[in-house]
């Protein structure tokens, strides 16, 4: 890297954020010899990668396609996802000799550790000579006649940088204690780009009063559920917690849920509780309902449902029609009204972000400000749970990185 006179470091590309998207972009931006620097205020790169997937990083999904992403412009992500697919990233993982496996629903995880993915990205950056400055704070970023000038604070000193390209990969707002900040949105706003409403997503739902007490009493119980909000449904596990409901199906639906909307839970999808309760009433009338239901649902849940309905010790044959229908509905069509979410403290991602109308879907470059790129979670593209968010980081990072290196 060349250092211009005084304290100014001249770069081709400055990447802000050493997360998944930023490191991917740096590795591609430097492919033709461009001088690339990635800065981050954290002590280590890829902190969210490290904690992702329970420490094993669900790095992509075999079935990733545009329908797995939310955005005010659902078409925006198509180009990058199509040109740099899950198979491209899987190839990279294979080339680095990282062992992986499919866990469920196409979700690919490292066999050993998420750190393997961080190492892969650092090795790719090193291969093109991209530099990494950690514990570095961006003090200011300005448009210059050609490119940009930045002031950063590193090791207690202010340093000046110039760069033809700036790639903003500062991520979203989730998990502030891991270094998430508003920086990416602030840069967008500073340069006149709109930011759509942001909200926590892939986040547990919370309840108050009786529903909260119900959830608390069942904390730790999990069921395979179909959880719906409006026309959207997810069939995955649901977990009762001390604060409300969580588990993959709830995290998924949280991205679609809005305040005052109801959520419907089928705790035994594909099974009609009403049909079986009716059949049991005539054919197995002497058996306790709790015994019969416990073959289908966790015993603690059954105990709670029957307690609520004053049917704790009831036999199948004694079930009046009205109670039978109410119990069946409680199992197959439980309507709940969440009061909120656990917020950014536990949300896996941020919904919304830099308005895609201001960006090129081919290159991620700001349409009105050549040389300024936004990639990854800071952009208004949010994936489902299951490896989709990292795929967006890889695809959008690749799109910006290759566009930069092709022009250098
Ligand atoms: P990312 O957040 O990774 O990186 C942003 C970088 O910018 C960080 O290094 C940060 O320190 C830096 N930064 C922020 N503000 C700054 C500032 N002011 N100055 C300097 N640097 C700054 N996804 C998935 O597909 N599979 C999974 O298994 C998981 N698991 C998972 C678990 C948990 C607990 C969370 C919180 C999230 C996930 N995700 C996930 C989501 C995934 O981690 C997320 O979508 C990507 O990390 C986004 O990549 P980015 O590079 O855009 O942001």
| Helix runs in 175-298, H state only | 183-190, 209-217, 248-254, 273-283, 289-293
pLDDT of residue 1: 47
117 CB near ligand 1 (under 6 Å): no
**Distance between CA atoms of residues 93 and 110, nearest Å:** 9
The stretch 373-386 carries a mean pLDDT of 98
Residue 172 Cα to ligand 1 midpoint, Å, equals 7
pLDDT tens-digit readout, 315-372: 999 999 999 999 999 999 999 999 999 999 999 999 999 999 999 999 999 999 999 9
Mean pLDDT of the chain: 96
pLDDT score of 52: 97
Pocket test residue of 38, 48, 343, 393 for ligand 1, highest count of atoms within 8 A of CB? 48
pLDDT of residue 408: 77
**pLDDT computed for residue 4 by the predictor:** 39
Secondary structure of 230-241 in the HEC alphabet?
CCEEEEEEEEEC
Distance between Cα 194 and ligand 1 center (Å): 21
pLDDT tens per residue, range 52-102: 999 999 999 999 999 999 999 999 999 999 999 999 999 999 999 999 999
Long-range contacts of 286-295 (CB under 8 A, 24+ apart): 286/315, 286/316, 286/317, 287/315, 287/316, 288/313, 288/314, 288/315, 288/316, 289/314, 289/315, 289/316, 289/319, 289/327, 292/316
Helical axes 299-308 vs 321-332, angle rounded to 10°: 140
Closest residue (by CA) to atom 36 of ligand 1?
348
Give the residue-averaged pLDDT of 127-141: 98
Contact 396, 377 (CB under 8 A): no
pTM recorded for the entire structure: 0.97
| Distance of CA 271 from the midpoint of ligand 1 (Å) | 39
pLDDT score, position 2: 38
Residue 110 CB–ligand 1 contact under 6 Å: no
Percent of the chain at pLDDT > 90 equals: 97
Is the confidence at residue 216, as pLDDT, over 50? yes
Among 19, 51, 114, which residue has the most ligand 1 atoms within 8 Å of its CB, making it the best to mutate?
A: 19
Alpha helices in 96-242 (DSSP H): 115-127, 183-190, 209-217
Confidence of residue 7 (pLDDT cuts 50, 70, 90): confident
Indicate if the pLDDT at residue 167 is higher than 90.
yes
């Amino acid at each position: 890297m060349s250092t211009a006179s005084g304290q100014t470091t001249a770069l081709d590309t400055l990447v802000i954020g050493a997360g998944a998207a930023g490191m991917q972009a740096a590795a591609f931006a430097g492919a033709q010899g461009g001088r690339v620097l990635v800065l981050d205020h954290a002590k280590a790169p890829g902190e969210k990668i490290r904690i992702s997937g329970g420490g094993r990083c669900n790095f992509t999904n075999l079935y990733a396609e545009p329908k797995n992403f939310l955005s005010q412009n659902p078409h925006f992500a198509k180009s990058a996802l199509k040109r740099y697919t899950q198979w491209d990233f899987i190839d990279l993982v294979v080339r680095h000799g990282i062992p992986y496996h499919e866990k469920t629903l196409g979700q690919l995880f490292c066999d050993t550790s998420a750190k393997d993915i961080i190492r892969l990205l650092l090795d790719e950056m090193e291969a093109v000579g991209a530099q990494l400055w950690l514990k570095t704070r961006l003090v200011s970023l300005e448009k210059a006649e050609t490119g940009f000038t930045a002031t950063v604070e590193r090791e207690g000193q202010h340093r000046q940088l110039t760069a033809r390209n700036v790639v903003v990969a500062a991520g979203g707002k989730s998990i502030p204690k891991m270094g998430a900040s508003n920086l990416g949105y602030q840069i967008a706003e500073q340069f006149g780009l709109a930011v759509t409403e942001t909200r926590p997503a892939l986040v547990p739902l919370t309840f108050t009063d009786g529903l909260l007490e119900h959830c608390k009493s069942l904390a730790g119980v999990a069921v395979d559920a179909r959880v719906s909000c409006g026309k959207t449904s997810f069939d995955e596990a649901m977990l009762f917690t001390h604060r409300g409901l969580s588990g993959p199906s709830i995290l998924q639906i949280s991205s679609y849920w809005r305040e005052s909307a109801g959520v419907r839970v089928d705790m035994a999808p594909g099974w009609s509780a009403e049909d079986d309760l009716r059949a049991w009433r005539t054919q197995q009338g002497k058996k306790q309902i709790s015994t019969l239901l416990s073959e289908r649902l966790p015993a603690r849940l059954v105990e709670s449902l029957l307690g609520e309905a004053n049917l704790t010790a009831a036999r199948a044959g004694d079930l009046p029609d009205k109670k039978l229908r109410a119990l069946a509905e409680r199992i197959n069509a439980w309507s709940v009204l969440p009061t909120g979410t656990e917020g950014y403290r536990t949300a896996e991602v941020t919904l919304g972000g830099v308005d895609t109308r201001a960006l090129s879907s081919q290159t991620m470059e700001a349409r009105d400000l050549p040389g300024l790129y936004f990639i990854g979670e800071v952009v208004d593209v949010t994936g489902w749970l299951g490896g989709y968010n990292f795929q967006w980081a890889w695809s959008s990072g690749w799109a910006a990185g290759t566009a930069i290196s092709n022009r250098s």
